[in-house]
Amino acid sequence: MPKIRINNIIVEATDGSTILDAASKAGIHIPVLCHKDGIEHYSSCMVCMVKNNLKNDFIPSCSAIVQEGMEIDAASDEVIHLRKKAVELLLSEHRAECEAPCRVVCPAGYNIPKMNRLLADGKVREAVELSLSGLDSREIRCATCPGYCENACRRKKIDLSVSIRNIQLFVFQNIGENDLSMLKIGRRDNIEGIRKRFSSRIGHLEESELKEWIKESKNDAPRFREVNDFRTAGTEAESCMHCDCRAAGDCRLRELAQEFSLKDPVGKVVNSHITKKINYKTGLIFENAKCIKCGLCVRVCEDRNDEPALCFINRGFVSIISEPLTDEFSNILTTQTDKVIDICPTGALGHLKD
Amino acid sequence: MIEENTHIANDVCGCKPADVNLIKSAVEEVVASTGREKDKVIQILQEVQKKLNHIPSEALRLICELTDITPGQISGVSTFYSQFRHLPAGRHIIKVCAGTACHVKGSQLISESFKRALKINDDRLTSPDNLFSLEEVACLGCCTLAPVVQIDGKTYGHVKPTQADEIINDFLRTRQKEIHLQKEAHEDESDAEVRIGLGSCCVAGGSKEILSRLLEIKEGYALNIKIKPVGCVGVCNQTPLLEIVTKENVHYRYTNVREEQVEEILIKHVKPGRIDKKIKFRITEFADTFISDDMVNSPVNIPGELREKYLSNFLSRQVRLATDGGGILSPESIDEYMLFGGFKAIRYCLSMSEPDNIVLTVMKSGLRGRGGAGFLTGRKWEIFSGTRSSEKFIVCNGDEGDPGAFMDRMLLESFPFRVIEGMLIAGFATGAHQGIFYIRAEYPLAVSRVRNALKQCYEKGILGISVLNTLYSFDIRIFEGAGAFVCGEETALIASLEGKRGTPHLRPPYPAVKGFMGKPTLVNNVETLSLVPWIINNGAEAFSAIGTDKSKGTKVFALAGKISKGGLIEVPMGITISDIVEKIGLGVAEGRTFKAVQIGGPSGGCIPAAMADTPVDYEELQKMGAMMGSGGLVVLDDTDCMVDVAKYFLTFTHKQSCGKCTFCRVGTKHMLDILTRLSEGKADKSEIDQLEKLCIDVKNGSLCGLGKSAPNPVITGLLYFRQEYEAHANGYCPAKKCRELIRYEITDNCTGCTRCFQECPVQAISFKPYEKHEIDQQLCTKCDNCRVVCRDNAVEIVNINAKDQNQ
């Protein structure tokens, strides 16, 4: 049982275990991104950097094996700087947004893109429940709202914005009295929470732009299309471009950016065109611009001839996760879709309907 | 202009996709010969590509069906290594070397001129008639002949941007004039031995033509001579090199021999066999000799002393251990190596009862790994020797990928037996029974020489179940790399051997403990292994007597770039850089000033001329911010821009990064972006500081040696040549190298000869005979053609922006 020091705390580690294991045993927090317990380590993200004081070099703790007498520094400014830099570099490669503009500007913080997805998919009841969960008072604000969401809607740049308020109002009409009785009125902190979350979002939506929209929005903003039934609601919802990320609320990269209080870097690097690959059979969607190349999805699946899995292709800066060259994206991972979506630390792999 | 007379089989030329049956039979055939295991994937892909010109996706699918290889594995591997093509390529591959030496001599312009000449404008980089494909390769290892272009197997050196058409035509005309050297009986009574260097550099210099001429003359005059192809002498700048050793054991050396001079040289030293033969041959050849004026300029008329003075200057300061026997030993004959004292060391080792003593000897000698990092070889052997396992492997790392380095290629090409002996000693000393040569695919000659050497060793019982009639068994096989610089890193090399993507992992576990197939694996560099026999033969003390306190023995360097006499040199550790540059290489060209030395390739750094008294020593170089690296030594003069050099190396490491860790994959991209912006005059001074910080982060944060050392060229550049970086931030390139910051102008020296007009590929110069010409700056692509062809030095490169006020 090798004894090592982490942040000057003596830790007794199991033979052959990693520094990360030893640290977590001692209750020392080291952030990770490309690592998951139980899956073979790979060390690509470098977010779990620690310093080996004896050799004066930096090593990824998720794959560095403990050795008797090691002196590990997991908390100094140097180490934090390097971790922060790793996240910053990953963000500079990450060309996507956490939140859709409509949701960012919505004073009530309704989850508009998700509602649209549910409606477009005909899942009326789920859409109602979603709206209910976003409601913080009996007052339906969309009735009087000048429509910040519609002003911010990206669809506007192409033709007309989605008639979000009308859809939302129609959905609210379907909330039963029973549902409303369950509602806890006056959860003001809810909105505060949402606001805080949005301030940490990653993406190219700038504060100034946002303020501009809010200023532009007037009370008498026109409501373009009527929404009278679930059919028209569905049709209207279909024109939504889903500017949000499916993993907005469950993204390790975003969490780390928040932990290190990092904003989206200005200088982005471009390694390939932004594409979305969709497997309509299983609902798996892959968005390359969100991928951090951690390879968790590759490692978690068994690569077999009868069920091709995801793999890395190309080398270096342009390397990317892909279906094998011998197959179509619609033929892969017939039974392991949930597994890869689950393990993906970002929104690169997701479910079409989420 | 370009005609291809031979019939092109549709199935291989890439004109149209190969048909399914053909793919099927090719794949089946390959799999039948290589085997079905997962680790065979690289060999299978190499063989399939040889048969089909590229690897169509049907072939990938078929390979998966027929073997244990999985779809993910084959896709990952076939796209990782740059050797594999997924799109059809032209019938002939033109490889333009983009190595350091070639880069500083303008390889980018060469590549552009070939694109123009072949009208290549698609992503496939293939000419519209599918005859040629263009490839930029990291390094062909012919740095002394820079810039170099290789078409299929044929190498052209000192190429000028205006020569593209000429070279293509020459290639089509002389294609594949294969010479088959007959195995000659070893007759002691031959009048003389004629030695001709057949290393890659020599071949590129035209030694194959010389050889065929030698054979012709030998036949024609019925000369009683023995013609012997030998390995590299290291005098690569003077190729082809011919040496005649007479019966009296007198040596005559001739450098820069031309085809038409061969006859004269031979006849001077060797008497024709029969007089009637002589007359007959002479008459048929009469016309040729008569017309040429070469008699006057012939090397035969230059006194021998003068002829050899340069050679001895070049050779006398060197100490040859690894390259002992250069220019004497035939790389293809085991008998000669044995006569030269070969395999004496392994015989001695085999007779020892305690193999551990060999490890001790190597330890005591102070030998350190010659691959770059300089880990103590004896220590590595000791760790490896201490492991218990049913199987242990010795890997010879010949994946030399540094642009500007060619030591390993030369050692493998010229002294394959010595490397084999080194491996055998390592194996016996540490209890291993299997060896693997990992040689990069760009070195076909090295592969074939080693293959031939292995065959001879097996025949002589030096390899196999009973090495030299002892109970010890040792087997060696060859593994051809597939084009990935990162595989020079030992953990990546092992991943590649196992048929995976060549991504490194964190050490420990060290390969010496857990390597190939999870078994202990000793990875040693080619040069390290070739020094081992010498150490055994001469003792640890003799070796450690050479060199400095911590760096013992000798180091082989590839001396190239802006140097008068480049070549392959082996020098004792501790020699100063200025001794190498000024005394061995005779300095830079006349009129130029020696500016810096780039040592250690993309992982190394630039050492300025002012600090050239730095001795060659692992620690000293590291202190300077450079690195021994594998031993590329590229000399730079005042026309070389440090920002451009840094950008060149960063482009290389960025392209060769495996893409695994964040810092190397994304960090180098940001560094490269800043350097590019600097070279275009678009960056400001604050970005220089940003660059400097990023260098430190990438150095600290990368996973393996490639990323950790990638910032070195920039760090040393900023350390010693910061003012040059700052000049670029002001839009000024002091060396007049960065294209965006310069323009071409014609001066009053112009006599109106119209040469520049004729050579300009974009009609930026109009036809004005006997008048001063002018360059249309809007049209000019800065291809350098006009400057190259001008006989009056009338084309000048000027900076777009005036020198900044401070200077």
User: Cα torsion at B178, B182, B186, B187 (round to 10°)?
Assistant: -110
Inter-chain contact B659–A324, Cβ cutoff 8 Å? no
Q: What is the pLDDT of residue B7?
A: 38
Pair B53, B125 in one domain: no
For residues B340 and B447, membership in a common domain is answered with yes
* Euclidean distance between CA atoms B256 and B54, whole angstroms: 39
CB B636 within 8 Å of CB B597: yes
The residue of chain A nearest to residue B58, with distances taken between CA atoms, is A326
For B75, which of A42, A292, A325 is closest by C-beta distance? A325
Contact A267 B673 (CB under 8 A): yes
Q: Looking at residue B806, what is its pLDDT?
A: 45
Q: Cβ–Cβ of B660/A43 closer than 8 Å? A: yes
Token pair recorded at residue A126: 């789920």
Pick the residue of A320, A325, A328, A329 with the most B CBs within 10 A to test the interface with B by mutation: A325
The mean per-residue pLDDT over the stretch A268-274 comes to 90
In this predicted model, what pLDDT tens digit does every residue of A105-127 receive, in sequence order?
A: 887 778 889 889 889 888 888 88
Interchain contact B676–A (C-beta under 8 A): no
Instruction: Spell out which residues of chain B touch residue A64, defining contact as CB-CB under 8 Å.
Output: 506
Q: Which of residues 196-235 of A touch B (CB under 8 A)?
A: none
Average pLDDT over residues A148-157: 86
A43/B506 Cβ within 8 A: yes
- Residue at B654 is within a domain: yes
Residue B241: pLDDT over 90: no
Q: Which domain holds residue B563?
A: 546-636
Distance (Å, whole) CA B475 – CA B792: 62
Q: How far, in Å, CA of A253 to CA of A93, rounded?
A: 12
| Beta carbons of B102 and B147 less than 8 angstroms apart | yes
- Contact between B510 and B352 under an 8 Å Cβ cutoff? The reply is no
Residue B616 contacts A where some CB pair is shorter than 8 Å: no
pTM: 0.88
Q: Give the model's confidence band at B292: pLDDT under 50 very low, under 70 low, under 90 confident, else very high.
A: very low
More reliable by pLDDT, B310 or B372: B372
pLDDT of B406 higher than 90: no
DSSP B54-70: S--HHHHHHHHHHSS--
- If one counts every other C-beta atom within 10 angstroms of the C-beta of residue B116, the result is 18
A318–B703: do the CB atoms touch at under 8 Å?
no
**Cβ-based contacts of B74 with chain A (< 8 Å):** 324-326
3-state secondary structure A207-271: HHHHHHHHHHCCCCCCCCCCCCCHHHHHHHHHCCCCCCCCCCCCCHHHHHHHHCCCCCCCCCCCC
- In this complex, which of A59, A60, A326 lies closest to B60 when CB atoms are compared? A326
Is A292 a residue whose pLDDT tops 80?
yes
> At A99, is the secondary structure helix, strand, or coil?
coil
Instruction: Based on the fold, state whether residues B783 and B757 are members of the same structural domain.
Output: yes
Inside any domain, residue B86: no
With an 8 Å Cβ cutoff, are A269 and B86 in contact? no
In this prediction, residue B5 carries a pLDDT of 40
Neighbouring-strand partners of residue B636: B596
pLDDT tens digits along B614-650: 999 999 998 998 888 778 888 999 999 999 999 999 9
Say if B181 falls within a structural domain: no
Distance from CA of B697 to the nearest CA of A (A): 7
Q: Is B65 in the A-facing interface, judged by CB distances under 8 Å?
A: yes
Give the model's pLDDT for residue A190.
Answer: 52
* Local structure of residue A10 (DSSP, 8 states): E
Handedness of CA B288, B293, B299, B301 (dihedral sign): positive
Contact between B492 and B287 under an 8 Å Cβ cutoff? The reply is: no
The closest of B669, B675, B627, B648 to B98, measured between CA atoms, is B648
Domain boundary among B636, B659, B690: B636
Paired tokens of B63: 């390979």
- The residues, ordered by sequence, that sit 6+ positions from A25 with a Cβ below 8 Å of its Cβ are A11, A13
Residue B615 belongs to some domain of the structure: yes
Q: What residues does each domain of chain A span?
A: 3-75, 101-238, 264-351
B655 and B617 co-located in one domain: no
Handedness of CA B592, B596, B600, B603 (dihedral sign): negative
Q: Is the pLDDT of residue A211 over 80?
A: no
B72, A45: Cβ pair inside 8 Å?
A: no
CATH number of the domain within which B214 lies: 3.40.30.10
ipTM value for the complex: 0.90
Q: Which of A94, A49, A97, A40 is nearest to A73 (CA)?
A: A49
Name the residue of chain A whose CA is nearest to B66's CA. Answer: A305
Choose among B61, B74, B501: nearest Cβ to A312: B501
Give yes or no for A90 touching B (CB within 8 A).
Answer: yes
Dihedral (Cα; B177, B183, B186, B192), 10-degree rounding: -10
CB proximity B518 to A under 8 Å: no
Percentage of chain B lying above the pLDDT 90 cut? 54
Residues of A in contact with B701 (CB under 8 A): 46, 49, 58, 82, 85-86
Is there a contact between A305 and B64 if contact means CB atoms under 8 Å apart? yes
Backbone angles phi, psi at B334, to 5 degrees: -70, -30
- CATH number of residue B626's parent domain: 3.10.20.600
- Of residues B101 and A192, the one with the higher pLDDT is B101
Say if residue B408 is in the same domain as residue B535. yes
Counting the structural domains of chain B, the total is 7
Does B60 reach chain A within 8 Å, measured CB to CB?
A: yes
What per-residue confidence (pLDDT) applies to B301? 46
Percent of chain B at pLDDT above 70? 90
Q: What is the pLDDT of residues B375-389, one digit of tens each?
A: 999 999 999 999 999
- Domain A264-351 in CATH 1.10.357.10? The answer is no
Task: Based on the fold, state whether residues B710 and B780 are members of the same structural domain.
Answer: no
Q: Tell which of B505, B540, B575 closes a domain.
A: B540
Question: Which of A 133-152 lie inside 8 A of B, CB atoms?
Answer: none
| Residue in chain B nearest A43 by alpha carbon | B661
Residues B611 and B660 in one domain: no
Within 10 angstroms of residue A62's Cβ, the number of other Cβ atoms is 27
Whether B614 is in a domain gets the answer: yes
Return the H-helix or E-strand segment holding B549.
Answer: none
B662: nearest CB among A89, A318, A326:
A89
Average confidence score pLDDT of chain A: 86
Burial code of B509-537, b = ≥16 C-beta within 10 A, e = fewer? Answer: ebbbbbbbeebbbbbbbbbbbbbbbbbbe
Is beta strand B393-398 parallel, antiparallel or unpaired with respect to B521-525? parallel
Predicted pLDDT at B294: 40
For A311, which residue in chain B has the nearest alpha carbon?
Answer: B72
Q: Which residue, among A280, A292, A273, has the nearest Cα to A329 in the 3D structure?
A: A280
Q: Is A146 exposed, middle or buried (0-12, 13-18, 19+ CB in 10 A)?
A: middle
CATH code, B434 = 3.40.50.11540
Query: B221 in a domain, yes or no?
Result: yes
Asked if residue B98 belongs to a domain, the reply is: yes
Assess whether the previous peptide bond of B509 is cis (omega < 30° from 0): yes
Cβ of B61 and A326 within 8 Å?
Answer: yes
Distance CA B672, CA B653 (A): 10
Per mean pLDDT, which range of B46-55, B149-158, B369-378 is the poorest? B149-158
Query: Do B791 and B728 belong together in one domain?
Result: no
**For residue A307, which phi and psi values (nearest 5 degrees)?**
-140, 85
Tens digits of residue pLDDT in B31-51: 999 999 999 999 999 999 999
The secondary structure of residue B547, as a DSSP letter, is B
Which one is predicted more confidently, B238 or A13?
A13
CA B513 to chain centroid: 31
Beta-ladder partners of B393: B434, B521
Interface touch B74/A92, C-beta < 8 Å: no
Last residue of a domain, one of B254, B285, B302: B302
Angle between the N-to-C axes of helices B444-459 and B416-430, in degrees from 0 to 180, rounded to the nearest 10: 60
> What does CATH list as the number for A3-75?
3.10.20.740
Is the distance from CB of B546 to CB of B418 less than 8 angstroms? no
- Chain A hits for B508, CB-CB cut-off 8 Å, are 65, 67
Element (H, E) at A70: none
Token pair for A318: 């342009």
Size of interface A-B (CB pairs under 8 A): 144
Instruction: Report, as an integer, the average pLDDT of B404-421.
Output: 90
Gyration radius of chain A over CA positions: 23
With an 8 Å Cβ cutoff, are A86 and B701 in contact? yes
Distance between CA atoms of residues B272 and B217, nearest Å = 10
**Residue A200: predicted pLDDT:** 65
In a domain, B504, yes or no: no
Per the structure block, which two tokens stand in for B600? 């250690």
> How many Cα atoms sit within 13 Å of B477 on the Cβ side?
8
Do residue B666 and residue A89 have CB atoms under 8 angstroms apart?
yes
